[in-house]
Amino acid sequence: MAMAWYRTDLYHRVLTYSGTYVNQQWPYNPATPGGAWEFHRSLIPKTPAKPLRIWLHVSDRDNYSESDGMHDWVLANQLMARTLADKGYKFQFVFARNAGHCDRSVKQQTLAQALEWLWKDYSSSANRR
């Protein structure tokens, strides 16, 4: 997500399995004190919508740590989906039950559909530089 967010000149489509929208940054950056947690807390809400199409997934048994309140993958992905919806982004959100972090069977069941959705309405002639 970070590559697409900061380089919309190069990236317009984002596919994430168990997106790490949590505070994993190192070294500390005062512009984003919560690391990737800032996507749903401040970056997306406070920035005009970008030309991105986003497909995200999280599993009910995904990663979690009580360390600082910003290491819950399920909550972070749910907040991302809500924030994207509020901002009017084109996105899909898949919540998998009885699955873990980057679950292989979830990928096998969803990857083809995710890629098809991400590239829907793509026109190569309209996107040439």
Q: What is the pLDDT of residues 25-84, one digit of tens each?
A: 999 999 999 999 999 999 999 999 999 999 999 999 999 999 999 999 999 999 999 999
Q: For residue 127, is it within any domain?
A: no
Residues 111, 102 contacting (CB under 8 angstroms): no
Q: What pLDDT does residue 129 have?
A: 47
Q: For residue 22, is it within any domain?
A: yes
Q: For residue 12, is it within any domain?
A: yes
Q: What pLDDT does residue 46 have?
A: 98
Q: For residue 95, is it within any domain?
A: yes
Cβ contacts of residue 47 below 8 Å, gap of 6+? none
Q: What pLDDT does residue 127 have?
A: 56
Q: For residue 123, is it within any domain?
A: no
Number of structural domains the chain divides into: 1
